[in-house]
Amino acid sequence: MRDNIIFPEKDALLRLTLMGRQARAFLIRSTRMAQQAADIHQASDVAAAAMGRLLPGSAMLWGLLKEESGRLSVTVDGDGHGGRLHCGVKDGEFKIAVQNPRLELPLTPDGRQDVGRFLGNKGKLIVVKDYSAGDPYTSVSDLVSGELGEDLASYFTISEQTPSLVAVGCLNEAGTVLSSGGILIQAMPGCSDQTLSQLELRIPFFANISREIFDRSLKGLAESWFVDLDPVFLGEEMLTLKCDCSRDRMRRALAAIGREELEKIVETGEETRLTCHFCRTQRGFSAGEVKQMLADSEESYDAH
Ligand SMILES: [Zn+2]
């Protein structure tokens, strides 16, 4: 990992309530994760910005899971040339990948990374929540702009029916992520109109969220933004970029490509190398090992 992070604070999600639980808020810093993801995928600046916006967005969704052990996957499937952007989270550990991480695009006229064009504004935001019991729960919403902030706000408002204010941002240039993070504010049932308008008044503060969190602590920021809204801090959780892939899981994926393909590999007598989509770890499987996989699948077939 690079040591050029200017502000030393670790990545985290801060939870708080406002006005006696009339609203809840999450503040997220994801700078380190965004830098690591950019490095792993040797990402262009626009691809790094897309990842640096989806990481805090996924952290919000993860923070709202009802079960701590829940697993979450967020996919942005738009019509942009960047292709599918996918993030998985479990226990505060994130993995992220995008189909075309090296694709570069010119900046927008106002000097921002053109994430909307990279991901596309036609398509879906797909959220899968997988709890330890029961089937995974999938919800889908249409993309609004592909810039991710609006897309996430629309997801919360339409799919989860919770009026939500969302901002996500990433400040990066020439391979360096200076800051990545976001804020989610949700009105709770019984939230007064007065509190709502107080919250709306603060929207301009969040327009440049990555600049705001760049060199301030999350708690310090929340205290200054919400000083008159009775903020109560519920705790801060650490967030890290860490892939959950393993040799065993990769072996199962290889075994699943089918008999014919596996037989072809055995015939070549050469090692097959597989690369994890998320962390780019490469693992090799010898022809002998693949032969054993075929024998094992034969056995399990006979057993049925
Ligand atoms: Zn991996």
Residue 229 has which token pair?
């809204």
- CATH number, domain of 234, equals 3.55.30.10
Which residue, 206, 225, 241, sits at the end of a domain?
241
Q: Rounded to the nearest whole angstrom, what is the distance from the C-alpha of residue 276 to the centroid of ligand 1?
A: 5
Which pLDDT does position 66 carry in this prediction?
Answer: 78
What average pLDDT does range 65-91 have in this prediction? 93
Which pLDDT does position 4 carry in this prediction?
Answer: 56
Q: Rounded to the nearest whole angstrom, what is the distance from the C-alpha of residue 133 to the centroid of ligand 1?
A: 25
Residue 29 has which token pair?
């810093």
- CATH number, domain of 258, equals 3.90.1280.10
Which pLDDT does position 132 carry in this prediction?
Answer: 81
Average pLDDT, the chain: 92
206 and 163 in a common domain = yes
Residue 72 lies in a domain: yes
105 and 24 in a common domain = yes
Residue-wise pLDDT for 18-57, tens only, equals 999 999 999 999 999 999 999 999 999 999 999 999 999 9
Q: Rounded to the nearest whole angstrom, what is the distance from the C-alpha of residue 33 to the centroid of ligand 1?
A: 15
Residue 282 lies in a domain: yes
236 and 273 in a common domain = no
Q: In this model, does residue 304 exceed pLDDT 70?
A: no
Residue 214 lies in a domain: yes
278 and 226 in a common domain = no
What average pLDDT does range 218-235 have in this prediction? 95
Q: At what angle do helices 287-303 and 259-268 cross, to 10 degrees?
A: 150
Q: In this model, does residue 228 exceed pLDDT 90?
A: yes
261 and 163 in a common domain = no
Q: In this model, does residue 8 exceed pLDDT 80?
A: no
Residue 7 lies in a domain: no
Residue 295 CA to residue 288 CA, distance in Å, equals 11
229 and 99 in a common domain = yes
Q: Domain total for the chain?
A: 2
Q: In this model, does residue 298 exceed pLDDT 80?
A: no
Residue 209 lies in a domain: yes
208 and 277 in a common domain = no
Domain that holds residue 196: 12-241
Q: Rounded to the nearest whole angstrom, what is the distance from the C-alpha of residue 284 to the centroid of ligand 1?
A: 14
140 and 287 in a common domain = no
Residue-wise pLDDT for 142-193, tens only, equals 999 999 999 999 999 888 888 899 999 999 999 999 999 999 999 999 999 9
Residue 162 lies in a domain: yes
Q: Rounded to the nearest whole angstrom, what is the distance from the C-alpha of residue 109 to the centroid of ligand 1?
A: 36
Residue 285 lies in a domain: yes
Q: In this model, does residue 67 exceed pLDDT 80?
A: no
Which pLDDT does position 126 carry in this prediction?
Answer: 97
Which pLDDT does position 131 carry in this prediction?
Answer: 87
Ligand 1 is an ion; its neighbours by CB within 5 Å are: 243, 245, 276, 278-279
Which residue, 211, 241, 271, sits at the end of a domain?
241
Q: Rounded to the nearest whole angstrom, what is the distance from the C-alpha of residue 110 to the centroid of ligand 1?
A: 36
Which pLDDT does position 257 carry in this prediction?
Answer: 86
265 and 148 in a common domain = no
Which pLDDT does position 295 carry in this prediction?
Answer: 87
170 and 65 in a common domain = yes
What average pLDDT does range 105-113 have in this prediction? 94
253 and 233 in a common domain = no
Which residue, 196, 215, 241, sits at the end of a domain?
241
Q: Rounded to the nearest whole angstrom, what is the distance from the C-alpha of residue 281 to the centroid of ligand 1?
A: 6
Q: How confident is the model at residue 70 (pLDDT cuts 50, 70, 90)?
A: confident
Residue 4 lies in a domain: no
Q: Rounded to the nearest whole angstrom, what is the distance from the C-alpha of residue 245 to the centroid of ligand 1?
A: 4
Q: In this model, does residue 105 exceed pLDDT 80?
A: yes
Q: Rounded to the nearest whole angstrom, what is the distance from the C-alpha of residue 251 to the centroid of ligand 1?
A: 13
125 and 41 in a common domain = yes
Q: Rounded to the nearest whole angstrom, what is the distance from the C-alpha of residue 18 to the centroid of ligand 1?
A: 38
